[in-house]
């Protein structure tokens, strides 16, 4: 596996990553677009890890850390390159990143119907926690969506504090 390179993604990789995910990953998320990945790289430039062999993208993982918990997403290996240790190499790279950042526990986001991913995560030492479920809600008008384009605000005021954002503080009080 010495010819496998694991590196962090850069903005110039975004289009290739999106195409790769359409070919290699299962499921599509609302943030699987150029703005979503660009936002990830802007917020955490080291979160998206790429595996390349001979200059060809063969795998990805998002290793996100919010300062409290470690989150792994989008572990994907191209079908023609599976069962070659690429998922293991990506998982280990993500875990090294988490450890260096002070993380203590990783949760992996895995589609229920993705049996291949279940096996990969189990082989890496992860276990399913059936007592947890995700609760999701798409946000209205995120940046780059209808009603707002890059650099053109919608006229919405940005909250000045977390309390105001949560509706606990009136603006200007």
**The predicted structure's pLDDT at residue 153:** 44
**The predicted structure's pLDDT at residue 70:** 94
Q: What pTM was computed for the model?
A: 0.76
Report, as ranges of residue numbers, the positions in the chain whose pLDDT lies below 70: 1-2, 141-173
List beta partners, residue 52: 5, 57
3-state per-residue secondary structure call for 110-131:
CCCCCHHHHHHHHHCCCCCCCC
d(CA 38, CA 112): 27
Domains and CATH numbers, the chain: 4-138 (3.40.630.30), 147-173 (no CATH)
d(CA 69, CA 103): 6
Give the pair of three-digit tokens for residue 9: 């993604």
Ramachandran assignment for 55, one of left (phi > 0), alpha (psi -120 to 50 degrees), beta (any other): left
Q: Are 26 and 113 in contact (CB under 8 A)?
A: yes
**The predicted structure's pLDDT at residue 156:** 42
**The predicted structure's pLDDT at residue 38:** 96
């Amino acid at each position: 596996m010495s010819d496998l390179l694991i590196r962090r993604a850069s903005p110039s990789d975004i289009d290739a990553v999106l195409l790769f995910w359409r070919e290699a990953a299962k499921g599509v998320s609302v943030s699987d677009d150029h703005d979503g990945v660009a936002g990830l790289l802007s917020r955490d430039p080291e979160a998206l890890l790429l595996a390349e062999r001979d200059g060809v993208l063969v795998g990805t993982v998002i290793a996100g850390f919010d300062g409290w918990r470690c989150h792994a997403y989008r572990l994907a290996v191209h079908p023609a390159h599976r069962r070659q240790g690429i998922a293991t190499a990506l998982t280990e790279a993500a875990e090294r990143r988490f450890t260096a950042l002070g993380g203590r526990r990783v949760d992996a986001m895995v589609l229920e119907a993705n049996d291949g991913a279940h096996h990969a995560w189990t082989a890496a030492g992860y276990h399913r926690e059936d007592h947890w479920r995700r609760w999701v809600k798409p946000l209205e008008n995120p940046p780059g969506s209808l009603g707002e384009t890059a650099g053109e605000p919608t006229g919405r005021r940005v909250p000045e504090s977390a309390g105001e954002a949560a509706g606990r503080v009136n603006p200007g009080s």
